[in-house]
C-alpha cells in the first residue's frame, strides 16, 4: 500500500508569512498533484508535477517534485487569507492513471 | 461548462439500510472516480469507471459497488450501512487518459445513525 504523509498537519499563520508543506512517501510515483479543498467543496487541482526535480511556480505558490519522485513540497510566499484551506498532495502511477493516492492533508489557516 | 454534479448533497440513513449516490460528470468526460473522505482516514479511492467498465478498484468491502451508464453518469451503492460509513463521498470526472485533470463534485455528506 502506497502512503503519502504530509507535514505539518495543521498550520496557522498570519498574513504575509511564508510557509512550506511537505509530502513524503516511501514509494515512487509517476507524477504528483497538489489540490486545495475548501469547506463544503471538492478538491481543486493546483498543479501536476511529472519529472523528478521539477519545479513549478504559480504566482505565490512554488511546487517541487523530489529527484527520486517520492516526495514533494509546496511553498507559499506572503500568504493571504484566501489561501486558507486543506492542501492535499496526491500521487499517480502509470497504468492506474485515474486512481489518486491522497496524502494525509495539511490544514492551513491564514489570519489578518 | 457545467461542473460535476452530485446528488443528493446530504443524506441521513439508519444502520443496515442501503444508499445510492449519483454523479453526473462534465460533458465529454468518460471517466468517473469515487472517493470516501473521513477525518480519520482522509481521502480514499473507492473505484473508477470508464466507458461503463470498472477500470480500477480500491480496498473497500463488497458492500460498496458502483456502475456507470452509457451517458457516463455514475452511481455508487452502499449496502448494509455501518456507522463507519459516515463520510463525504466525492466523485471526480476526467477525460480518462494519463495525467488528465480530475474535476471533483461538491460531494454527498452521508450520515449513518
Contacts (Cβ under 8 Å, ≥6 apart) of A1? B59
Cell of A9: 498537519
Cell of B11: 443524506
Q: B60 at the A interface (CB within 8 A)? A: no
Lowest-pLDDT range of A47-51, A98-102, B51-55, B101-105: A98-102
Q: How confident is the model at residue A97 (pLDDT cuts 50, 70, 90)?
A: low
Q: B99 at the A interface (CB within 8 A)? A: yes
Q: How confident is the model at residue B100 (pLDDT cuts 50, 70, 90)?
A: confident
What's the CA angle centered on A72, arms A40 and B35, to 5 degrees? 35
Residue identified by cell 487518459 is B97
Buried b (16+ CB within 10 A) or exposed e, A16-30: eeebebbbbbeeebe
Size of interface A-B (CB pairs under 8 A): 63
Query: Tell me, what's the pLDDT at B1?
Result: 60
CA-CA distance, A15 to A80, in Å (whole number)? 5
* A92 contact residues in B (CB cutoff 8 A): 99
Amino acid at each position: 500500500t502506497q502512503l503519502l504523509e504530509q507535514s505539518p498537519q495543521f498550520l496557522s499563520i498570519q498574513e504575509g508569512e511564508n510557509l512550506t508543506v511537505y509530502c513524503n512517501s516511501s514509494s515512487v510515483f509517476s507524477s504528483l498533484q497538489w489540490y486545495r479543498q475548501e469547506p463544503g467543496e471538492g478538491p481543486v487541482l493546483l498543479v501536476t508535477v511529472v519529472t523528478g526535480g521539477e519545479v513549478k511556480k504559480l504566482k505565490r505558490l512554488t511546487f517541487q517534485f523530489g529527484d527520486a519522485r517520492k516526495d514533494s513540497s509546496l511553498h507559499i510566499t506572503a500568504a493571504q487569507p484566501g489561501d486558507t484551506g486543506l492542501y492535499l498532495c496526491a500521487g499517480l502511477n502509470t497504468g492506474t492513471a485515474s486512481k489518486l493516492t491522497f496524502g494525509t492533508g495539511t490544514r492551513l489557516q491564514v489570519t489578518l | 461548462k457545467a461542473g460535476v454534479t452530485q446528488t443528493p448533497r446530504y443524506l441521513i440513513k439508519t444502520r443496515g439500510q442501503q444508499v445510492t449516490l449519483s454523479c453526473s460528470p462534465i460533458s465529454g468526460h468518460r471517466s468517473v472516480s469515487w472517493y470516501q473522505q473521513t477525518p480519520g482516514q482522509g481521502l480514499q479511492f473507492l473505484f473508477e469507471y470508464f466507458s461503463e467498465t470498472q477500470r480500477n478498484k480500491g480496498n473497500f468491502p463488497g458492500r460498496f459497488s458502483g456502475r456507470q451508464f452509457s451517458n457516463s453518469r455514475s452511481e455508487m451503492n452502499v449496502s448494509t450501512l455501518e456507522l463507519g460509513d459516515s463520510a463525504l463521498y466525492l466523485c471526480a470526472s476526467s477525460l480518462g487518459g494519463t495525467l488528465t485533470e480530475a474535476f471533483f463534485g461538491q460531494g454527498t455528506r452521508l450520515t449513518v445513525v
